[in-house]
A and B are shown apart, each in its own frame.
Chain A
Amino acid sequence: MHGLSKCVAVLLLLCFTRRVTSEEYRHPDAVSSGVPGGWQRINASEYRRLVAEHKHGPPKDQPASDHLDAEKRFDEPLRGDRGKPLRRSNYGDDEPAFRAEPQRPRLRRTPRPKLAIPTAPPRPRANFSKDVIWLVDDNTFGLRPADDQSLKIRMGPPPASGSPWPMPRVYQPMALVYQLKSAEFHMHALGFTCDVLETAFERTQKNAFVASVPANAGEVFYSDGRTAVPVIYYLNVTVAKRCDKYPSLRMVESYDLEVKRSGVTIYAQEVWGALRGLETFSQLVYQDDAGHFLINKTFISDYPRFAHRGVLIDTARHYISKEVLISNLEAMAQNKFNVFHWHIVDDQSFPYQSKVLPNLTEFGSYNPKTHIYTHEDIVEIVNEARLRGIRVIPEFDSPGHTLSWGYGTDHLLTSCYDYTGEPNGFYGPVNPILKWTYTVMQRLFTEVMELFPDMSIHLGGDEVPYECWTANPFIKRFMRRNNMEDVKELLNLYEKRILSIISEIGKRQNRRVRPIVWQEVYDDSGQVGGSVGPDTIVQMWKGSGYDLQAMVEAGQKVIYSTCWYLDYISYGQDWQKYYNCEGLTTFEESGSRNTSNLIGGEACMWTEYVDDSILMPRLWPRATAIAERLWSSASVNDMVLAAPRIEEQRCRMQRRGLAVGVLAGPGYCNHIRNTPGAAHNWSYFARLWKLGQRNYDTPSYGQLKNKVYVVDMNAMYLVPLVIVVSICCLTLLSVLQDTSRSRIITFFLLRAPGTSRLGVRGLLYVFLLFAFAWCVWTAPIWMNVWEDTKKPKLSQPVF
């Protein structure tokens, strides 16, 4: 029986250590094209070393390793950490680097074919400042040859290809390339599923396979003369928890993604993480010259830095149509934003359709027939956002910024008085001393909170013109009678009432409410000894990093938007300003005691000078820079490294049909580069650009989580084998056991038959049970694999 189990063990071993055949190829551009962080083969020990290096710093006695050597090491016999041949690793068992040296050479019938991979020429490392310079005078990228100061050419960086944005925490692309065929690519949910995931599949299918190169535009020859690379057919998503209906502040967005020969796997705890993973997957796909969709072998483990990553859009200064708002939601999803802060009403107009107070809309909107958001519109927008894992937080700003409310509601606004004590005909903020005010608010917010399911509602509270309050004799009298000395106490009073109204409505609707207010409410009530309450979140929009630090340390939950006012424009590229927002970079994750209190940030698009015609090109791709700041690690902050990637993100969004603008100077959107024989303008620029780059290959991005969940798709193929072998063994055992109680069998079973202790047989039963469960679990994939093998194989790729 020892022999038998050894046989099984060897069989298992052989199956697990997959043969490397000549199926895996390098993309000819693999090394030379500008994919950051990747295009470089890395083996397990290297990987562990890098992780350790990341955690503990580089080993002191060793010089920093040159990762380019990994290329060379590929054909050498690979050894594990302790000098033994490696058997299997947690990370990607079909990685050729993990291949065990043959245990029994006699088992091998044929010598293993050697993988023909051209050794990449050593990449030149040039001084950045020598060839490509950062032209400071007008904030742009550009070229200037070192020896001719008079020649200066502005240009954007050449876009990367197949690199994700924002940068995942752990991003490990490798130089192996697989092909995807849009018509033959299938996505499956292995765990829980729901409409969110199903629509995400559709969206991913659409977004990943947007062709920018005509099919069969040209032939691409890979290094061994073939014209095609191995095809991946499946993407499997495992969601570990039942789907929530709506995204929330507490949603878990982490995911793990692995691209392997056998397929793409995404593991996520919640469906929201799966959405982010699918987005990342769709960004990894790129096209070669012949129009093939390619993807690199990749391992990604990802989670966001901040839970609240928002975009504010003001629909009151100019009306923004529903269609544009939805296309903005799509752009947000492609940048992993998760909050749409809808500044829906303001001084200028009241486009929200209120059914309980219809006059607000009737008189407050620009045009109550065309320039409003009906309840159906709102439900549709909230639903579109939900399907993309985006929360919709409406803002009803009061007591300031409410002029448009006054047209439809009498006695709501304070009338202002001039110095003679006469009303001057203007109206100021909401009148805080009337009961009627709170009745209006109560009715309005009840309706609003029924429409918007999110836990948070933004109550505004910014820029209250106190002069109008202090000039009004009734308010003056009210303050005198209530012993109020500072007008800020009035704001404090008002906000307290509003917050209590909100929490009452929350109680009635049986939900927890986390209201958000602008910074002034916190500042002003703090000055008069009040507070905004523990559940309230404060949004920063003015002030410096110091304020932020103080607030966070005081235990206040804060959203940051000071440096992200995207409505302010200037000539040239300004994204680096948003990318390295000072308020946030000085605020280091480790530097503060109370990091978790900073829950995120928001890009603000106020619409004084923006409407439908310009919103998308103005907001995107500038907000894209913010996306990376809010999602990726604080250490991802080198804009020179980010430039080609953000350029690719811009082109990608454009390709997917979003009207995004220009970011970084002259250039064009296309990922075809560096192909010998074809004329590309980039070839010259890209070469210079790359010369100037620091080493892209250092996988310095992010840190590892404690645990990495990877569903091993390869093991799927073992299921039938395991079952058949187990059944054979059991049958054999039973037969032998029942017919003759020979000593040999007793010897093999290690224990006399009939005793109650668990023996090999018992172990086999348990093993079989597990195998069976595994089989059931992976059945859907199985069936597809089976069906797929029956399809006729086409010799030419079909698009």
Chain B
Amino acid sequence: MAFTENVAASRFNLVYLALTVLLLQYVPHCASITQTVGQPWPLPQSYKSGTNVQSLDADTFLFRVVGNDCDLLREAIVRYYKIIFRTAADAAPSHEDEVLRFQPKSDPTVLEWDQYNTDESVLGSLDVKVEDKCVDIGYPSLDMDESYALTVTTGSATLVGKSIWGVMRGLETFSQLVYEVGLGAYQVNDTEIQDFPRFAHRGVLLDTSRHYLSLRSILQNLDAMAYNKMNVFHWHIVDEISFPYESRTFPQLNIQGAYQPAYTHTYTQENVRTVIEYARLRGIRVVPEFDTPGHSLSWGKGQPDLLTKCCTKGVFNGHYGPVDPTVNSTYTFLTGLVDELSKVFADHYFHLGGDEVSFGCWESNPNITQFMNKTGMGRNYAKLEEYYMQRLVDIVAKKNMGYIIWQEVIDNGVKVRPDTVVEVWRSGQEAELAKVTNLGYRAILSSCWYLNYISYGSDWMTYYKCDPQRFNGTSQQKELVIGGELCMWGEYVDSTNVISRTWPRGSAVAERLWSAEEVKFPEAAEARMEEQRCRLIGRGLPAEPVSGAGHCRHEYDPDQ
């Protein structure tokens, strides 16, 4: 075959060469998704970016506190200084050789840096102004003001927020505007941002019962939430399978109910305090969920007589069902537990659960039937659930706490107090949202954001498209939707993969909940999403690829 090819080749070699040279420049670099450079995620409500570029010097850059000052602010500034200039620390050699300062051992982009290191202007500082009082303001809440204004112009940059929480969001945005052009060299474009969140409740649910999540991964998740401007950590701390919360009042709950209480599978009071404080410093609320009357099998081990005994033909058959609502000891116990939780957890809201109650066990128990006959409920088990929830709600209300419940409580016709927040999680979200808001309750949506369900490909786009206010209702009804939550249930998730599975898919939810309603096209967000993923990777979080082949400037380094 060789000779034929030889002949053929010699004939058109020249033409071919010319053609190839000509065409090679048109070859699209299909290899990677285009990434934006220095664009924020989630997209601010008003965002103008100029072409004028200034550089930042890691050594001399200053955050100037021009408004109110407090420890929260200082902590945030230190944190964001480290985030913005994180590679500068790697770049700087340990000895004081100034010449080598930005030429580390294996500088991949030294040429690039030289190219950019021309005489453009240098941004020396960011003026940070908190307008409201910021000392001793306690914990973030549903009503906190998260708006801010950020301006970067030649020679000056200003960040103004009404409250410290808004300034935190602004610092996050500023850290995203700064981009690295060489190892240890940073630039920022002129920018003007006016920003505020679309929804007040932007949550992440982590389930620490199906699999125990290490404290480290919870804190990492709080970091990731801050990087995406999420503000509620919904801690589904206990469930059917295990009870990792270390209760002071009822220590047996944990000792008997946890996977491995003696060693590692427990959140001690110290751990819980750490989480709450870590979240507070980032402007994140911690809403604990103690799910009753269903999903409480693990409680029964440490609290005898709490659960309903399931019966076969009137005889206890060895299995347990939901919490037994007919005995007074249940409510004594709950009062004690709620009393403790109201002291341990700082947030005003408390998630009471109430989902997936199986009536089968209640039906089989003769004591419960007797109780229901006595109180005139007949065979209406929704009434029994209402009775239970009502008493639980009263206990919580006595502690002056607000509460969130799953949608079933409303679906079963239970009457709850009007200030209740209802979390919608079942499919058919539009009808449900309309129904809940029609009854005058505030609602949170999480139906379309079950991130524990995975599939091959770029599924973040479906999360991105889901809108909590897209249902038939009046504008008053739509205002009652106060936000949403992404859910990461723990059946197939533990510390090894919780971060990579939640982020950056959760970032899609973050943008939906923060940015304006008009920002709804995933195709337009794809390049920014890719930058956001690489940003998370660069900050040391194992965020998984979501948009096909590509690469980040700094790949994931688990040691970071």
Question: Which residues of A pack against B, CB within 8 Å?
Answer: 140, 145, 147-151, 153-155, 213-214, 217, 316-319, 321, 347-349, 366-367, 369-371, 403-404, 406-407, 410-411, 415, 423, 425-427, 433-436, 474, 477-478, 481-482, 493, 496-497, 567-573, 607-614, 617-618, 654, 659-663, 665-668, 670, 672, 678-681
Contact = CB atoms under 8 A, between A and B. Distances in A.
**What 10 pairs across the A-B complex have the smallest Cβ distances?**
A613-B542, A150-B360, A150-B358, A369-B108, A425-B26, A317-B549, A666-B210, A613-B556, A348-B31, A668-B259
A347 B30 contact: yes
Given A426-B27, A614-B544, A662 B494 contact: yes
B275 interface: no
A150 B23 contact: no
B4 interface: yes
Given A319-B551, A665-B491, A666-B491, A681 B27 contact: no
B172 to A, nearest CB: 21
B321 to A, nearest CB: 6
Contact of A434 (B1, B9, B26): B9
A217 to B, nearest CB: 7
B497 interface: yes
10 contacts: A155-B241, A317-B548, A318-B550, A319-B555, A349-B549, A369-B108, A609-B548, A662-B491, A667-B241, A680-B260
Nearest to A620: B496
A411 B16 contact: yes
A388 B490 CA distance: 34
B5, B32, B317 pick with most chain A CB within 10 angstroms: B5
Contact of B542 (A148, A571, A614): A614
Interface of B: 1-2, 4-9, 12, 16-17, 19-21, 23-24, 26-28, 30-32, 106, 108-109, 209-212, 240-242, 255-263, 265, 297-298, 301, 310, 312, 317-319, 321, 358-361, 364, 452-458, 490-494, 496-497, 500, 537, 541-546, 548-551, 553, 555-558
Given A348-B549, A474-B8, A670 B260 contact: yes
Contacts of A614: 497, 500, 542, 544-545
A370 to B, nearest CB: 5
B456 A567 contact: yes
B545 A610 contact: yes
A214 B263 CA distance: 8
B30 A410 contact: no
B546 to A, nearest CB: 7
B544 A613 contact: yes
A434 B5 contact: yes
Q: In the complex, which of the residues B210, B257, B458, B543 has the most CB atoms of chain A within 10 Å of its own CB atom?
A: B210
Given A609-B546, A679-B256, A147 B21 contact: no
A370 B336 CA distance: 58
A410 B548 contact: no
A662 B497 contact: yes
A659 B456 CA distance: 21
A570 B555 contact: no
Given A155-B241, A680-B260, A681-B242, 7 more contacts: A150-B360, A153-B241, A478-B4, A478-B8, A570-B454, A612-B555, A678-B262
A243 to B, nearest CB: 34
From A497, A610, A662, residue with most partner B Cβ within 10 Å: A662
Contacts of B9: 433-436
- Output the residue of A140, A371, A607, A666 with the most chain B CB within 10 A: A666
Contact of B310 (A151, A217, A496): A151
B310 A148 contact: yes
B555 A611 contact: yes
Contacts of B493: 662
- Interface of chain B, main secondary structure: loop
Given A415-B20, A613-B500, A681 B543 contact: no
Given A147-B317, A423-B19, A425-B26, A609 B263 contact: no
B361 A151 contact: yes
Contacts of A660: 496
A571 B262 contact: no
B539 to A, nearest CB: 12
Nearest to A664: B492
B542 A681 contact: no
Given A366-B32, A607-B549, A148 B20 contact: no
B150 to A, nearest CB: 30
Contacts of B318: 145
B454 A668 contact: no
Contact of B211 (A367, A370, A611, A668): A668
A613 B19 contact: no
Contacts of B20: 410-411, 415
Contacts of A617: 496-497, 500
A481 B298 contact: no
Contacts of B317: 145, 147
Contacts of B8: 433, 474, 477-478, 481
Nearest to A567: B456
Contacts of B541: 613
Contact of A681 (B5, B258, B321): B258
Contacts of B321: 148, 151
Contacts of B108: 367, 369-370
A423 to B, nearest CB: 6
A321 B242 CA distance: 37
Contact of B545 (A370, A411, A569, A609): A609
A743 B43 CA distance: 114
Given A148-B360, A151-B310, A681-B257, A366 B31 contact: yes
Contacts of A568: 456
Contact of B555 (A321, A572, A618): A321
A367 B109 CA distance: 10
Contact of B32 (A348, A661, A672): A348
B23 A423 contact: yes
Contacts of B361: 148, 150-151
A154 B491 contact: yes
A348 B32 CA distance: 7
A662 B495 CA distance: 9
Nearest to A606: B549
Contacts of B265: 668
Q: Name the residue in B297, B361, B491, B496 with the highest tally of chain A Cβ atoms < 10 Å from its Cβ.
A: B491
A679 B556 CA distance: 39
Contacts of B6: 435
A312 to B, nearest CB: 16
A183 to B, nearest CB: 23
B456 A415 contact: no
B241 A681 contact: yes
A679 B12 contact: no
A347 B455 CA distance: 24
B32 A611 contact: no
B17 A411 contact: yes
B293 to A, nearest CB: 13
B490 A415 contact: no
Given A150-B361, A611-B545, A571 B497 contact: no
Nearest to A151: B358
B31 A404 contact: yes
Given A148-B360, A571-B454, A654-B496, A474 B4 contact: no
A305 to B, nearest CB: 29
B506 to A, nearest CB: 14
B455 A569 contact: yes
A426 B30 CA distance: 11
A318 B551 contact: yes
B492 A572 contact: yes
Contacts of A370: 106, 108, 555
A681 B496 CA distance: 22
A474 B13 CA distance: 10
A377 to B, nearest CB: 13
Given A613-B556, A662-B497, A425 B109 contact: no
A571 B452 contact: yes
Given A149-B360, A423-B19, A666-B490, A482 B261 contact: no
